[in-house]
Amino acid sequence: EAGVAQSPRYKIIEKRQSVAFWCNPISGHATLYWYQQILGQGPKLLIQFQNNGVVDDSQLPKDRFSAERLKGVDSTLKIQPAKLEDSAVYLCASSWSVSTNEKLFFGSGTQLSVL
């Protein structure tokens, strides 16, 4: 089966600019996650979707970050405006459901550099 697709692979922007990342989960996966991974740290959960509804966005900086999952399939994460500290790898993951017994499948991530 095809894996989780993310694009772009790399992105370089200047601070105060806007940027968007795209994720296409594995077909049929209802649950989708966005993570931020700063160099040297573990992935930090930003937002979790179940179909097109938000389950948890408690760690999403809502003043500048937004995410949507229209039609419950692919998803977009946006940063507007970007700050230097947003430089990180943004990972998308999906699973069949929220069940505790389901495993996550991760994409390769988008590496963002904010100059």
Partner 1 sequence: DAKTTQPNSMESNEEEPVHLPCNHSTISGTDYIHWYRQLPSQGPEYVIHGLTSNVNNRMASLAIAEDRKSSTLILHRATLRDAAVYYCILRDVLGDMRFGAGTRLTVKP
13: which strand partners? 114
Of the residues 12, 38, 54, 55, which one makes contact with partner 1 according to CB under 8 A: 55
Nearest residue (CB) to partner 1, 74 versus 102? 102
Please tell me what DSSP assigns to residue 99.
-
Of the residues 57, 61, 105, 113, which one makes contact with partner 1 according to CB under 8 A: 105
Which positions ≥6 away from 100 have C-beta within 8 Å?
A: none
How far apart are CB 80 and partner 1 at their closest, in Å? Answer: 24
How far apart are CB 16 and partner 1 at their closest, in Å? Answer: 28
Instruction: Give the count of alpha carbons within 13 A of 76, CB side only.
Output: 9
